[in-house]
Amino acid sequence: MSASTETKSTCCYCGVGCGVIITAEQGQITGVRGDPDHPANFGRLCSKGSQLHMTSTPLIQAQRRLHQPMLRQRRDQALTISDWDSSIAYVAERISNTVAEHGPDSIGFYVSGQLLTEDYYLFNKLARGLIGTNQIDSNSRLCMSSAVAGYKQSLGSDAPPCSYEDLDHADLVLIIGANPAYAHPVLYRRLEAARARKPEMKLVVVDPRRTDSAQDADLHLAIKPGSDVALLNGLLHICLWEGWTQAAWLDAHTSGLEALRDSVRDCTPEQTATLCGVSADDIYLLARWFAQSAASLSLYCQGLNQSSAGTAKNSALINLHLMTAQIGRPGAGPFSLTGQPNAMGGRETGSMANLLCAHRDLSNADDRAEVANFWGIPEIPAQAGSTAVDMFEATRKSKIRILWIVCTNPAHSLPAQAQVRAALETAELVIVQEAFRDTATAAYADVLLPAASWGEKEGTVTNSERRISRVRAAIAPPGNARADWWIASQIGLAIQTRFPQHFPHKQTLRLAYDNTEQIWNEHRELTRGRDLDITGLSYRLLEQSPQQWPCPEGQHTGQARLYTDFRFAHADGKARLICTPYQPAQDKVNARTPFVLSTGRLRDHWHGMSRTGVTPAAFAHQPEPMLEMHPQDMEARFLKHGDTVCIRNTRGQQIWRIRANPALRSGMLWLPMHWGEEFVWGNANGYTGLGVNNLVSPALDPKSFQPELKFSTVSLQKQSFPYSLQLICRADPHQIPAMQRACRQLLRDQPYVECIPFGGTASGIALYACLQQAEPVLFAALTEVAGLQQHAHLRYQDAQRSTRLIRLENRQLHTVMQTGSQTLPDWLVQWLKEAKEITVPVSLLLQDKAPAGIAVQRSVQVCQCLGVSAAQITQYLEQQETPATPEAEQAVLLGLQQHLQCGTRCGSCVPELKQSIRALRQKVLHVA
């Protein structure tokens, strides 16, 4: 028996960049825990990171992963299994011939912030160096490009100035356009700890939603969606008016003060309050706190970035820091939270259409010449490539003919999905390099290249605080999957050797590497003398401890904080104060489209769920894909929980079930960003439902080219269907993918279908479909998928209303299936999911009303680590005395944690526990 091994690596989800220790045995990952020595997390992991090993079990490796290259020569053929030699030769030939016929810009590379820095570097070299095109962009375009553009125009360099340790030094933390309690949980734990140590620290949250982060704040400004610039300009106006700016400091270290002062002259508190929909007093209070605190730190993410004014939002926030000299000191500065694990690596290697290696500028001829000389080629083309949204538009117009998509799922994540699908259909060749075989994008592939994934790869990533960590392989990839850099290298070499006539000046370009360290060392050398100089960061040093950049040769530790001498990265050393006039979002609220649709994250899921979606337990906190709306808006439209509605705009329409969320502003709708057509689909009214991004605006920021994923306007109508069909069926996790596929196949043409795994006490699938007519044949076929035809079951048929089938196993509900005009009662669904022993006569299971004396309510799992449900928490809290003070609330929290253990492991559910306790107190205050 082989011994168990432990390998230090990094979490593959968010930009916090937590260190992990992976346990493996006999070639399988068996566990994961936080690395106590990693400075990003000191041993902590959140609910996603702590379940990483569950996404790599032998069954998932066998069933969900892509093991072999697959290809088809013609679009009307099915993909067949191939081998690496044939696939590499085929791709090399198609690319070379297309370049010969249509030029280098006919090839597009759409890569990912999930790639490691070495992968990024090699794809960049392949595209710009060998093929000779700048048509390379990353899904980081959807994530951080506005932060990049903001830093560059304001401070002179794409360099986040702060460190996580600044949370310990801040006196005021402003979270704007971010919900770190969900999106960056381990960092949020650090903020909680800092506030516990320093109770006088202020927390302000600016967000149209009352998120878990906002619930914890001393001040929450629930501004109108998209009005961030108006707010930030209003804050500047107050600071100037009140004399809270630092005139001498501004004179010495910035330029542009006069113009900025003029531009915010009319941004009075009253006008700002009207534009933002919050009180002038709250705006004034925030301005005072921010300017007068000893150290103000701001944390921001997609709420600022994903906007047609994303760059302006970033610079407006940096203006506020500069005007109040809240930068370059411990605890002070603008700090963008990176969405993806290695979005920063993509920026460092210049793997985006308008960037170049090591923070060089593609539009700068000297920068291009430096890289060309370094690579030993005549030139880097000057023409910028297409950015993400435009790359697909260029493909739709046949300017790009071959799309190579690496480690990302654009058929889920890009806005205006109908256009994206049209582009994928138009492309002459779609190459998809992926670890998981059933993503929405994989369905469009002509060539599928199996990629190694987390726990199987070597390289480096850079987190939000510029800290570079090693990523290490604990096991070999399954089947014939290979590291992303290796695939790029092999195809590049095949192009060089087989088609030299098409690339005559590129034969000396190095594309052969034995390992990632060689690639890393080449990338390091390109950073020499640059703002991100990492010539001091060898793999050997990084093995000892992750380090922040810059760290030039001769140094052994990186730099925690930038601009401490107030010398900024512009040539004259001064930061720029940028005028940012407020521009509303591009979609307009009007009588036709009166609602603003916004999207965001769930706590336990990641992006398109190709990884988190393989573990049923990850759905226990939010088991249903639902559109959220303010309860008063629902009441005004006679909508109730679970009703189906159709939202529409000029881009399409989509059916969703709806639920109330008082945390939203009136007039807003909100959807989790994760629900793609792999989980929710439908065909209704002549439109095909394509998931959450179907209706989302493709409007771009003019500088960052980041799309406006957070603000799209839609209409909403209730849409009733005469019939529904539900199937809640227990199944072992390994059976779930096949069941999902079978349901998709059967119900492909129904108006609305959701098919979601469930996990926790029991696992299985929960299917809900809306039907236009009774579908007895479909119902019968589904009984087969559910295994009901092979097992005895109860049957209840009411000719007027519904048919219900129930299968019991070991005195527990195993399967419940129903079709008709009624939906299944909550108590029955809950009993099944909670694997309750049936203690009532089975005939009672056929009625809608819960059996007497049995109160079973809809309840989700709040603590994923320890399986504690909302119902258990409520039951405990109802037995406690209502806390009268914040201190008493804390005591109740401790009691709750002792009693049920919830929130004692990863802590991701702690904000929700606090909310439940606070709600109890507020209920009592309200009654009083």
Q: CB of residue 679 vs ligand SF4: minimum separation in angstroms? A: 20
x/- string (CB under 6 A) for ligand SF4, residues 180-199?
A: ----xxx-------------
Residue 716 backbone dihedrals phi, psi, to 5 degrees: -145, 130
What are the two backbone dihedrals, phi and then psi, of residue 550, each rounded to the nearest 5 degrees? Answer: -75, 155
Minimum distance from residue 190 beta carbon to ligand SF4 (Å): 10
Q: How far is the CB of 164 from ligand SF4 (least distance, A)?
A: 11
Nearer to ligand SF4, 48 or 793 (CB): 48
Rounded CA separation 708/857 (Å) = 38
Segment 498 to 517, residues that bind ligand SF4, using CB under 6 A = none
768 — phi, psi (to 5°)?
-135, 125
Shortest Cβ 41–ligand SF4 spacing (Å): 6
Residue 733 DSSP class:
G
Give me 292's structure tokens.
Answer: 């007068």
Contact residues for 430 (Cβ-Cβ < 8 A; gap 6+) = 402, 403, 405, 424, 444, 445, 446, 447
Strand arrangement of the beta sheet that strand 680-684 belongs to: 687-689, 680-684, 752-758, 764-771, 723-730, 812-820, 802-809, 794-797
Q: Quick one: residue 43, left, alpha or beta (phi over 0 = left, psi -120 to 50 = alpha)? A: left
Q: Which is nearer to ligand SF4, 604 or 775 (CB)?
A: 604
Cα(638)–Cα(632) distance, integer angstroms = 10
Residue showing tokens 């939002």? 313
- 333: alpha, beta or left? (left if phi > 0; alpha if psi -120 to 50): left
In the complex, what is the shortest distance from the CB of residue 132 to ligand SF4, in angstroms, rounded to a whole number? Answer: 37
- Minimum distance, C-beta of residue 459 to ligand SF4, in the bound complex (Å): 16
Query: Where does this chain touch ligand SF4 (CB under 6 A) — which range of 10-18, 370-378, 810-818, 846-854?
Result: 10-18
Nearer to ligand SF4, 124 or 908 (CB): 908
Q: What's the count of helices (H) and strands (E) in the chain, helices before strands? A: 30, 38
Question: Which residues are CB-neighbours of 926 under 8 A, at least 6 positions away?
Answer: none
Which member of 21, 46, 174, 626 binds ligand SF4 (CB under 6 A)?
Answer: 46
Rounded to the nearest angstrom, the gap between the alpha carbon of residue 382 and the centroid of all alpha carbons in its chain is 32
Q: Is 49 in the site for ligand SF4 (CB under 6 A)?
A: yes
For the bound state, the minimum distance from the C-beta of residue 181 to ligand SF4, rounded and expressed in Å, comes to 11
Residue 138 has phi, psi (to 5 degrees) of -120, 155
CA-CA distances (angstroms) from residue 133 to 125, 351, 447, 485? 10, 12, 21, 18
The interface region with ligand SF4, picked from 46-54, 513-521, 642-650, 688-696 by CB under 6 A, is 46-54
SS3 category, 849: coil
- Closest to ligand SF4 by CB, 46 vs 577, is 46
User: Across-strand partners of 109?
Assistant: 136, 404
Q: Is the peptide bond before 625 cis (omega within 30 degrees of 0)?
A: no
Tell me which residue has tokens 């295994």: 787
Strand partners, 496: none
Judged by beta carbon, residue 13 or residue 711, the one nearer ligand SF4 is 13
Among 21, 22, 32, 45, binds ligand SF4 (CB under 6 A): 45
407 lies in the binding site for ligand SF4 (CB under 6 A): no
Q: Smaller CB distance to ligand SF4: residue 284 or 335?
A: 335
Residue 320 binds to ligand SF4 (criterion: CB under 6 A): no
- Give the helix/strand (H/E) hosting 101: helix 84-102
Q: Answer yes or no whether residue 455 interacts with ligand SF4 by CB under 6 A.
A: no
Find residue 429's DSSP bridge partners: 402
Residue 54 vs 725, nearer CB to ligand SF4:
54
Stretch that binds ligand SF4, among 178-186, 438-446, 705-713, 749-757 (CB under 6 A): 178-186
- HSE-CB for 96 with a 13 A CA cutoff: 21
CA atoms of 796 and 822, how far apart (whole Å): 13
Residue 252 CA: distances (Å) to CA of 54, 324, 402, 575, 577: 54, 13, 51, 10, 13
Please report how close the Cβ of residue 10 comes to ligand SF4 at its closest, in angstroms: 8
Size of the site for ligand SF4 (CB under 6 A): 14
C-beta separation of 207 from 220 below 8 A? yes
Span near ligand SF4 by CB under 6 A; candidates 41-49, 764-772, 811-819, 858-866: 41-49
Q: How far is the CB of 909 from ligand SF4 (least distance, A)?
A: 13
CB-based contact 509:375 (threshold 8 Å): yes
Q: Which is nearer to ligand SF4, 160 or 652 (CB)?
A: 160
| Binding string, residues 863-892; x marks residues near ligand SF4 by CB under 6 A | ------------------------------
Q: In terms of CB distance, is 222 or 862 closer to ligand SF4?
A: 862
Which lies closer to ligand SF4 via its Cβ, residue 175 or residue 358?
175
x/- track of binding to ligand SF4 for residues 11-40 (CB under 6 A): x-xx-xxx----------------------
Alpha carbon separation from 12 to 8, 185, 245, 460, 738 (Å, rounded): 13, 14, 41, 11, 26
Residue 99: CB minimum distance to ligand SF4, A: 39
Q: Is 108 in the site for ligand SF4 (CB under 6 A)?
A: no
Nearest distance from C-beta of residue 34 to ligand SF4, angstroms: 7
Of residues 15 and 104, the one with the C-beta less far from ligand SF4: 15
Specify the residue, 344 or 569, whose C-beta has the smaller distance to ligand SF4.
344
Contacts made by residues 872-879, CB under 8 angstroms, sequence distance 24+: 872/900, 872/902, 873/900, 873/902, 873/913, 873/916, 874/916, 876/900, 877/916, 877/917, 877/920
* Residue 673 is a binding residue for ligand SF4 (CB under 6 A): no
Compute the least distance from the CB of residue 18 to ligand SF4, in Å: 3
- Rounded to the nearest whole angstrom, what is the least distance from the CB of residue 600 to ligand SF4 in the complex? 15
Query: Which listed residue (8, 38, 48, 524) binds ligand SF4 by CB under 6 A?
Result: 48
Q: Which position's Cβ is nearest ligand SF4?
A: 49
> 911: closest CA among 385, 247, 185?
185
Q: Which region, judged by CB under 6 A, interacts with ligand SF4, from 9-17, 129-137, 152-160, 686-694?
A: 9-17
Question: Smallest gap, in angstroms, from Cβ of residue 338 to ligand SF4?
Answer: 10
User: Which tokens is 321 given?
Assistant: 């820091």
Nearest residue (CB) to ligand SF4, 186 versus 788:
186
Listed ranges 42-50, 98-106, 109-117, 611-619: which one lies at the site for ligand SF4 (CB under 6 A) = 42-50
How far is Cα 357 from Cα 360, in angstroms, rounded to an integer?
6
Say how far apart CA 430 and CA 191 lie, in whole Å. Answer: 44
Select 286 or 909, whichever has its Cβ closest to ligand SF4. 909
Question: How many angstroms from the chain centroid is the CA of residue 272?
Answer: 31
- Distance separating alpha carbons of residues 622 and 559, to the nearest angstrom: 40
Q: Which is nearer to ligand SF4, 186 or 614 (CB)?
A: 186
Minimal distance, residue 189 CB to ligand SF4, in Å: 9
The residue (of 485 and 606) whose beta carbon lies closer to ligand SF4 is 606
Q: Of 354, 207, 315, which is closest to residue 583 (Cα–Cα)? A: 315
Output the CA torsion sign for 749, 70, 114, 377: negative
Distance of alpha carbon 150 from alpha carbon 596, whole angstroms: 25
Q: Shortest Cβ distance from residue 460 to ligand SF4 (Å)?
A: 15
Q: With respect to ligand SF4, which residue has the nearer C-beta, 184 or 470?
A: 184
- The two tokens of residue 794 are 């109860």
Smallest separation (angstroms) from ligand SF4 to the CB of 772: 41
**Site residues (vs ligand SF4, CB under 6 A):** 11, 13-14, 16-18, 41, 45-46, 48-49, 184-186
